[in-house]
Chain A
Amino acid sequence: MTPPDYAVQMRGITQRFGAVVALDQVDLSVRPGAIHAVVGENGAGKTTLMRVLQGHLAGAGGTVALHGKPVQFARPEDALRHHVGMVSQHYSIIPDLTCLQNLILGDERAGWLRPSSAITRANALAAQMGFGFDWRAEARTLSPAGAQKLEILKLLWREAEIMILDEPTAMLSPADADALFASLHQLTVQGATVILVTHRIPEVMEHCQYVTVLRGGRLVADWPVSATNSTQLAEAIVGHALAPPLARAQTVGEPILAVDGLSVRGYRGDVAAQDVTFSVRAGELVGIAGVDGSGQRELIQALTGTRRPLAGTLRMGADNVTRATPAQRIWRGVRLIPEDRLQEGVIEDWSLVDNVALGLQRLKPIAQGPWLDRGAAATLAAQVVARFQTKHGGLSHPMRSLSGGNQQRLVAARALAIAPRLVLAFQPARGLDIDGAAQVYQALREAAQAGAGALVVSFDLDELLLYCDRILVMRDGRLYEPAVNEARDRAVIGRLMVGAEGSA
């Protein structure tokens, strides 16, 4: 096909965020009327690439052309005007407004609104797609599938021709997902072009015509779907195996944590984690792999005590801690390295000493009865800071004076400082280079050897393979464990993560 026939042609796209290269000379060519999949793991760059196309990132290097004509998008309104629209992964429906209000927001077409004529047009568009809406109902009443249909209609309202859908089936049941693809097919028949960003191989194989694979910010594959299969695709996504992981000599002790049938509600009211059962024993590092949004977050919150489970039990040793408060769990030795330290780990305005005490403030030696022993806190802070060579300008300086990586070092060391028994580590090496990450995991290993257990959640499969003894996979809220003889097989785990197991 000659170049001018491409609906979208992106060439040499490069995007940096500070020192991190998110996209490195990526090309993407989308044929008109196609459903084109862009796949990759978390952090591979797919969402970033789409944001460039959508006009959110004006400073990206490279060129973009629509239907053969070069374009420059400085802001999202430019993309909208060129009939490029995106349905984002985290829906942009405003729950307190009605469906109709959400539909027309930003493109009302008049100062004075006429709901009846708007509804007429809206119904016509909806009928084309086989949707139906109670336009005057509040958008919060919509199911995730319904919200998504509304988002698609929003694109149609704005006469979008090029539609980007970012992980659209993340919240949908299989039936809803099928319905969605029927709609997408319908849209392409009517002349739209669809770009589907996903990590789910079955969807790609069944519904898409072309697939582009990104890994680590680079383009690694660009095929017609008919020319490939799930296995090949999965391998392209997770990459070839690194040097075989070192075997772990482990002596495991008693279970420190036993999770049985745990179900946890998510932010949107859905069931984010379902019937999860596993245990962590003394001396072992258990990793949980999985794509972001598979329920890991809610699981960790249920384990720390900040989210109440719907069903199931948690035991630490002989004690049932399902309903224990966070403070009680800390007392029992539960320690957290949080995913987002700024939000739930540190207080930026406070000094390093005060931050080291956060989470440990009721434990000896920091607490002596009701009193706070500042001297002990300062001594502890010095130890914590020294553990991973955190670079700082003084213990009384505020936390914000530390770089991101050094903040992470402090937070990780803090979790291991006082009698840890169960360490919950969510992306413990976030923001750290290879050496920093190795140090943190080594410290986790030492804690394990001293009798603790560690549960590590990470979106980086290589990291987990390198450092953990056992790897579990979360997908769509459920927990999967590879067969014993495949427990460390990278390809197998990769397939479990994306749901390609069992397909050819």
Chain B
Amino acid sequence: MSGRIIALIVASFGVVVLALSTTGVLPADAMQQLFRGSLGSPRAISNTLRETTPLLIAGVAVFLALRAGLFNIGVEGQLVVGALSATAIVLSVPGPLGVVLGVVGASAAGAAWAYPAGWIRAWRGGHEVITTIMLNNIALFLTRALVAGPLKDPDDQAPTTAMVDATSRMPWLFQHDNLKVNVGLAFGLIAVAGLAFWLRRTVGGYELAAAGANPPAAQAAGVPIQRVQVRAMAMSGAIAGLAGAVQALAYEGRFYSGFSPGYGFDSLGVALLAGLSPWGLIPAALGFGILNQGSTALTLIGIPRGLTGVLLGLLIIVFAALRYREVKRG
């Protein structure tokens, strides 16, 4: 491992230790509290899994786009339009049928939200980082207007939809004592497996990865680059929309203004940490889930919430540096 990488790791370590030292908490105690808060009890584990689920699904979405050479920063927006769509559909069509329709609708909404960014990138060269971030903001305002207006719960002053009824929620896979695992998590695992299978075993997946890895070579190999890019963004958006549906129908039961606490950016981190294989998304999402959930517990012993954010940023840097070092060597 080159001296540069070692320097980076040492520096990152130093930053974290320095930050901790200002709080007066020993690293060992901090770690213990972190794990206690995230994995120390059935309730904690449930909450951690609840955090992990949307991160996992959204992580799949970002990973897919990344493989095609695209940065989908728009997961935030795709997720909320998906969530709102699912909620609205389920409110009109309750019950399991509604849930199925809601999932479909959410994916369609997410895909529609990502499509313009893909098109602009493929056919106009406009960088998708900017267009997806813009679309995020548009989504935010659009959904806000909708839940303050036509989709608002008439019985409630706040900008929120009505609660969907109990039959329209995504069921719990497992519910015992305080340990609850929702089927949404299963969706996430299936999405990971599906992506891994698709990338490895279909021509479409192969071509997408080729387009992302070496566009001129892919083009000479017959891959229609622009169409692949547009399709990749649309698929990524659809999966992000699915994440929104899960968040709405499994955990929240409604949609309100301020719905997403920033899953968009976190999912980019998840995808980057996952490495080369989609299976890496599982430990990455779980790691983020633990850090997010545990940060609440950390505040109880006087460690401000931001520390886990810093840690995540440093992790991304170190992992990215490691990855690019390998690329450069050959």
Judge A-B direct contact (beta carbons within 8 Å): yes
Chain A interface residues toward B at CB < 8 A: 304, 306, 325-327, 329-330, 336, 338, 343-350, 354, 357-359, 361-362, 367, 370-372, 374, 398, 400-401
Chain B residues, Cβ within 8 Å of A354: 206
Enumerate B193-241 residues with CB–CB distance to A below 8 Å.
Answer: 200-207, 210, 213-214, 216-224
Q: Are A372 and B214 in contact (CB under 8 A)?
A: no
CB of B330 closer than 8 Å to a CB of A:
yes
- B203 pairs with A370, CB closer than 8 A: yes
Q: Which of A306, A347, A372 sits near B202, CB closer than 8 Å?
A: A372
A359, B214: Cα distance in complex, Å: 13
The answer to whether A372 and B222 touch across the interface, beta carbons within 8 angstroms, is no
The residue in chain B whose Cβ has the minimal distance to the Cβ of A343 is: B216
Among the listed A327, A338, A374, which residue makes an inter-chain contact with B201, where contact means beta carbons less than 8 Å apart?
A374
19 A–B contacts from the bound complex (CB under 8 Å): A306-B220, A326-B221, A327-B222, A327-B224, A344-B216, A344-B219, A345-B220, A347-B210, A354-B206, A358-B221, A361-B207, A361-B210, A370-B204, A371-B201, A372-B200, A372-B201, A372-B202, A372-B206, A374-B201
How long is the Cα–Cα vector from A359 to B217 in the complex, in angstroms?
A: 9
Given A343-B216, A347-B214, A400-B330, is A367 in contact with B203 using a C-beta cutoff of 8 Å?
yes
- Smallest CB gap from A301: residue in B: B220
Quick check: is B327 within 8 A (CB to CB) of the other chain? Answer: yes
Bound-complex Cα distance A358 to B330 (A):
20
A345 to B218: give the CA distance in the assembly, Å: 8
Q: Name the interface size band of chain B.
A: 20 to 34
The A contact surface, by secondary structure, is mixed
Contact status B222-A330, CB under 8 Å: yes
Looking at the assembled complex, report how far the CB atom of A8 sits from the nearest CB atom of chain B, in whole angstroms.
38
State whether A304 touches B220 (Cβ < 8 A): yes
- 3 closest cross-chain pairs (CB), A and B: A327-B222, A400-B330, A359-B221
Q: Are A327 and B205 in contact (CB under 8 A)?
A: no
Say yes or no: A371-B202 contact (C-beta < 8 A), given A347-B214, A349-B213, A400-B330: yes
Contacts of B213 in A (CB 8 A): 347, 349-350
User: Given contacts A348-B330, A350-B213, A358-B210, are A372 and B219 in contact (CB under 8 A)?
Assistant: no
**By the criterion CB–CB under 8 Å, are A359 and B220 in contact?**
yes
A497 to B210, CA, bound (A): 38
Shortest distance between the CB of A346 and any CB in chain B (Å): 7
Taken together as a complex, chains A and B put the C-alpha atoms of A349 and B223 apart, in Å, by 18
Contact status of A372 and B203, CB under 8 A, knowing A325-B222, A347-B210, A362-B222: yes
Q: State in angstroms the CA–CA spacing of A307 and B223 once bound together.
A: 14
In the complex, what distance in Å separates the CA atom of A362 from the CA atom of B210? Answer: 13
Distance between A206 CB and nearest chain B CB, rounded to angstroms: 40
A370-B202 in contact given A327-B222, A347-B210 (Cβ < 8 Å): yes
User: In the complex the two chains form, is B222's CB within 8 Å of A326's CB?
Assistant: yes
A359 to B221, alpha carbons, bound, how many Å? 4
Q: How far is the CB of B322 from chain A (nearest CB, A)?
A: 14
- Distance between Cα atoms of A170 and B90 in the complex (Å): 69
Tell me the B162-202 residues at the A interface (CB within 8 Å). 200-202
CA distance A237 to B284 in the complex (A): 62
On chain A, the residues within 8 Å of B327 by CB distance are 349
Residue of A nearest to B329 (CB): A400
Q: Which residues of B contact A346 (CB under 8 A)?
A: 214, 217
Binary contact readout B264-301 vs A (1 if CB under 8 angstroms, 0 otherwise)? 00000000000000000000000000000000000000
CA separation between A327 and B200, bound complex, in Å?
20
Residues of A within 8 A of B222 (CB): 325-327, 329-330, 359, 361-362
Which partner residue on chain B sits nearest A325 by CB separation?
B224
Q: Given contacts A327-B222, A345-B217, could you give 11 more A-B pairs where the C-beta distance is less than 8 Å?
A: A325-B222, A327-B224, A330-B221, A336-B220, A343-B214, A357-B206, A358-B221, A361-B203, A361-B207, A361-B221, A372-B202
For A361, list chain B residues within 8 Å (CB). 203, 206-207, 210, 221-222
Across the interface, which residues of B come within 8 angstroms of A329, CB to CB? 222
